Structure 1
Amino acid sequence: MIEIISLEGEEKNIRTLAAPISQDRDIHEDPIILSLAERAKKMPEFSGKKEEEIILYPGNESPFERALLIGMGKADDISCEDLRAFSGKAVRKCVEMGLDHAALAAPSPEKTGPENARLADIDMAAAMAQGAVLGNHIFDRYKEKKEKKPLGSVFLPASPQNAGAMKKAVQRAEIVCKGTLLAREWVSMPSNDKKPAELAKIMARAARGKNIKVTELTGTGLAERGMNALLAVAKGSRSGPRMLVMEYRHEKARRHVALIGKGVTFDSGGVNLKPTGSLEDMKTDMSGAAAAAAAVISLAELDAPVHATAVLPLVENMPSGQATRPGDIVKSFSGKTVEILNTDAEGRLILIDAMSWAEKEYAPDVIIDIATLTGACVVALGEKIAGVFSHDDALADAIVEAGEKNHEPCWRMPLPGFYKDLLKSDLADIQNISSSKWGGAITAALFLNAFVKKARWAHIDIAGPASAKKGHPYCGAGGTGFGVRLLCDVAEGKWE
């Protein structure tokens, strides 16, 4: 989809150019773009401020039929995220106009960003490529009329001396963002089309031919292994549970990272039934599994020198005469008994069996679980920031930094040991909810941590950013694919 070219538009018969324009100084070197910016700023409706857009039809003055100029605000304030948003906005505008391609002009690195921290051209190219791929996504598989068509090509101009490095950065961005789109599709898909067995097949199919070993455990296999916490969640549904394992192993891998993704394909709350208003979006409760699976697929596509295994417990949480009841006690895979006081705190139950089994089966160096786990985390951080919980400073820092780089923002949360008392049960080794109504995101993380033995561990609560009711420049409403880009960076990172 994305191709690196020179800025001579006639070489590719490029008819549409999109360029970011600053309000306070020129940020381009190319005389064609400088001329277009000068012309646009003579018009009263455009000055280069943020959110401003104008389309020019320059005629014989330019090799392009049309130029879409998008205001970026002050040049010193422009960030890679602003350029990512610019690309997404430009691509979406071209899609709305029914166009089939666009060239996206990057600003000069010497003129963009704070004076003491100018943006690197490779970073700008990667961010713009991300915005273009993500913004070109249209989820319309359930629409009778396909009113919009994604762009067939997006061109990023580059100087000959930088073309090689930019091409490598752009190719990586495109692969990882296609993985993000894969996750978006799975999250936005309705639950009737992704029951556990069906979702396992869909994910396994996506991994086919990519040097990924896929293993699937069914209800019988799960029972034989003693995964009773997971099975307790699945008991109320006629749709049997699955555990899907996707292992990618490169010969030059330095460490093994296990990604445990919560995969509740629909969460009714079970016997502790959710009220109207809380049920409608519960098809997204498998966003963690989607992110983990798509990350491993992306890493395999990249031929990244890592060893990454996605362990995906897939269940449907439903009420019925067979469902788990509040007060039931189950023996988890780890051997610890769990008193289930709330069947709507189900994600942590499937995660503990998946984590314990993964640690015993694979002995990974690092375990990262990712889950739409608690509403408490959304209360604390809002709908756009994920919570990160870990006792490991280096691992937590790597996750937060990867989130900052990719604009998948994360905030490290506390894990105070004295809150563990809130999970004490009189009848079992531990209970699945806190005895206090406060600090629910923290106590949920502490519950998970109790089932990790030796591996370095982090928990990412994506309950807020996993889906969006309203779109933004490079993501429409629905599943966001949050976590895929972040997890790929962490898995490949050089942190110790």
Structure 2
Amino acid sequence: MLSVQPYAEMAEKPDTGILFVCEDMPLYKEENKALLCEKIRNLPEFAAKAEKIYFVSMPEEMPLPRVIMVGLGKKEELDAEKFRRAAAAAVKAAMEAKEKCPAVFLPDAKETLQSETTVKAILEGLVLANYRFDSYKKESELRVLEKIIILAEKTAQSGIEKLAAGVEAVCTATHLARTWVSTPSNDKRPEALCDMFEKAAASEGLETRRMGKKELEKLGFGAMLAVAQGSDAGPCLLTLHYHPEKTADKTVALVGKGVTFDSGGLDLKPPAGMEGMKMDMAGAAAVVATSIALARTRPSFRFIAAIPIVENMPSATAYRPGDVFRAYNGKSIEVMNTDAEGRLILADTLAWLADVEKPDLMLDVATLTGACMVALGDEIAGGFTEDSMLAHALARAGEETFERCWPMPLPKDYKKLLKSELADLRNVSTTRNGGAITAALFLKEFTGETRWAHIDIAGPAYLSKASACCPAGGSGFGVRLLHHLLTDLEKNGNL
């Protein structure tokens, strides 16, 4: 998708150019580009406002038939996300204009934040926006760009090529997650979704293993099997394994909630709350896509991803409020709400990984609670961990990727809200308040002594309307966040 080429030696002819324009600062040194930006900046209908687009037709003797000018806003407000969103706006404009191969002129003035961070943000915006999910439509409304040429100085070409390869590895994995989340539930029942995940992971060289009902019964996954028993589609636990070329000192475990459709079970959701529940496997999609991105970028640590996949349905065989089940680690759970099923399938998986793999770090990602959406809105995930360094690293990764993750508390005294008179735990709190916190505290009961963080992506996992970098539907949230977090922890020796 991305092709880095020196301007003087372009191997192919693009059909349009893309230039960035700041309200109050020149971004290009070359005279023709600088003059064009200065002229267009002063047009009142453009004025270089953030994400504003203006098309300029070029004279016949020029190498490009037209140029897309994209605004960045004021100098004092420039940051990586402004560049990311502007690049995405330019790609959407090119798609709407039915272009196939635009050429992007990177800003070259030093004072424009010309750094790896800025260039990476631009590249991310270009790739993230170049996506559509239209496989269920007879005719596509928009076609994605076939190629995006990045014009670079000859001396900077190799560095930008390396950066572009990394961005494309992660952002196209994000595309995969979006597609899986947006796929209707009738086409991704547990076995089918497991097939999708396994095929994609195996194609990237990851070792895969899947376990069905009989194997899960032998392992003692009582909580996960309880959720699955209401559906005629059996449960599936998929594991993905990555081993670096050299012997790894550290092991990371990733867990993603994979509920292919959540009706609520016998505690049935209202229709308005059920219609979007094809997205309740977004945590699983994020973890599989992150695993693929990591397999492409080859970290030095070993990792295992475990994805429990079920369908939560009401039926004569469904689990009931008041039922008690025993999880993998031997703890008994009294079910007080069948719509709190995600934590049950995660409980077995977390306990099993902590016991068998003994990872140095364990992360789980889940569309777990509506309470987290109430607390943080639709665009910010909640991060729960008792490790202050990990909490800080997670928040920083969220800021740098703009997949924001706000640190949330895990007060020990709230554990009393999960006390059951009949079992070791109840699966929901005795109060409606603080639901995201008590859900995280429930999960913690199954992590043992493992260093662990829980990421609740209920808000940002699915977009009801398009964002700057993503059309409506599955957002792929969590892939760039997790990849950035783990890469950062590895680089700083904090795994």
Q: Common fold, TM-score beyond 0.5?
A: yes
Letter in 2 for 1:78: L
Distance in 1, Cα, partners of 2:486 & 2:49: 38
> Is the CA contact 1:268–1:317 (under 8 Å) kept in the aligned structure 2?
yes
Segment drifting more, 35-44 vs 313-322? 35-44
Aligned positions of 1:478-493 closer than 5 A: 478-493=473-488
Give the 5 Å matches for 1:162-201: 162-201=156-195
State how far apart, in whole Å, the 1-side matches of 2:249 and 2:389 are: 16
Match of 1:116 in 2: none
Bigger drift between 271-280 and 82-91 goes to 82-91
Q: Which moved more, 1:239-248 or 1:38-47?
A: 38-47
CA–CA distance in structure 1, aligned partners of residues 30 and 115 of structure 2:
15
Match of 2:445 in 1: 450
Are 1:284 and 2:279 an aligned pair?
A: yes
CA contact (8 A) 2:51 2:89 kept: no
2:298 pairs with 1:303: yes
Preserved CA contact (<8 Å) 1:389 1:459: yes
Residues in 1 aligned to 2:442 and 2:5: alpha-carbon distance in whole angstroms:
52
SS of 1:5's equivalent? strand
The one-letter amino acid paired with 2:34 is L
- Any gaps of 5 or more consecutive residues in structure 1? 113-118
Q: Which residue pairs with 1:315 in the alignment?
A: 310
- TM-score (normalised: structure 2): 0.96
Given candidates 466, 469, 476, the residue that maps to 1:474 is: 469
Match of 2:67 in 1: 67
Distance in 2 (alpha carbons) for counterparts of 1:269 and 1:82: 39
- Compute the displacement of 1:217 (Å): 0.4
Q: Secondary structure of 1:269's match? A: coil
Conservation of the 8 A alpha-carbon contact between 1:284 and 1:466? yes
Q: Please give the alpha-carbon distance, in whole angstroms, between the structure 2 residues aligned to 1:109 and 1:365.
A: 43
How far is the alpha carbon of 1:375 from its aligned partner?
0.3
Quote how far apart the aligned CAs of 1:10 are: 5.9
- Cα distance in 1 for partners of 2:61, 2:434 equals 62
> Aligned with 1:19: secondary structure?
strand
Matched, 1:108 2:108: yes
Answer whether contact 1:3 1:154 (CA < 8 A) is retained: yes
Q: Paired residue for 2:383, among 367, 384, 388? A: 388
Partner of 1:44: 44
Structure 2 Cα separation of the partners of residues 182 and 109 of structure 1: 35
Shift of residue 474, structure 1, vs aligned partner: 1.4
Mapped pair 1:133 → 2:155: no
Question: Which residue of 1 is the match for residue 256 of structure 2?
Answer: 261
**Cα distance in 2 between the residues matched to 1:289 and 1:222:** 18
Match of 1:115 in 2: none
Q: Deviation at 1:303? A: 2.0
- TM superposition score normalised by structure 1: 0.96
Residues 390-412 of structure 1: CA deviation (Å, up to 9, x unaligned): 00112122211111111101100
Q: 1:109 to 1:244 in 2, by over 3 A?
A: farther
1:32 aligns with 2:26: no
Tell me: CA distance 1:362–1:319, structure 2 relative to 1, closer, same or farther (3 Å): same
Q: 1:127 offset after TM fit, Å?
A: 1.2
1:408 maps to 403
The residue identity in structure 2 corresponding to 1:414 is: P
Deviations 1:36-86 (A, max 9, x none): 212213433121122422100121474211111111111231111111111
For residues 406-437 of structure 1, the C-alpha deviation after alignment (integer angstroms, 9 at most, x for no partner) is 11011000111110000000000011000111
Question: Do the aligned partners of 1:305 and 1:492 also contact (CA within 8 Å) in 2?
Answer: no
Kindly indicate whether the alpha-carbon contact (under 8 Å) linking 1:106 and 1:124 is maintained by their aligned counterparts in 2. no
Q: CA RMSD in A?
A: 1.4
Matched ranges for 1:416-455 at <5 A:
416-455=411-450
The answer on whether the counterparts of 1:32 and 1:62 sit within 8 Å (CA) in structure 2 is no
SS in 2 for 1:278: helix
Identity of aligned residues (%): 42
Secondary structure of 2:439's match? helix
Deviation at 1:190, TM superposition (A): 0.4
Q: Tell me whether 1:360 sits opposite 2:355 in the alignment.
A: yes
Q: Structure 1 pair 183/107, CA: closer, same or farther in 2 (3 Å)? A: same
Range moving further from structure 2, 156-165 or 373-382 = 156-165
Name the CA shift for 1:254/1:489 in 2 (closer, same or farther; >3 Å).
farther
How far apart in 1 are the matches of 2:413 and 2:42? 64
1:389 and 1:414 in contact (8 A); partners too: yes
How far apart, CA to CA, are the structure 2 residues paired with 1:63 and 1:121? Answer: 28
Residue 43 of structure 2 aligns to which amino acid in structure 1?
Answer: M
Query: Quick check: 2:53–2:89 contact (8 Å CA) kept in 1?
Result: no
Alignment counterpart, residue 155 of structure 1, candidates 149, 160, 163: 149
Matched with 2:458 is 463
Query: What's the CA shift for 1:304?
Result: 2.3
Alignment of 1:197-346 (within 5 A): 197-252=191-246, 253-346=248-341
Shift of 1:109: 5.2
Structure 2 stretches lacking a partner, 5+ long = none
Q: 2: distance between equivalents of 1:302 and 1:21?
A: 33
Question: Aligned partners of 1:182 and 1:7: how far apart in 2?
Answer: 32
**Is the 1:84–1:129 Cα contact (8 Å) retained in structure 2?**
yes
Shift of 1:162: 1.7
**1:254 Cα deviation (Å)?**
3.8
Q: Distance in 1 between matches of 2:91 and 2:30?
A: 21
Output the amino acid matched with 1:140. D
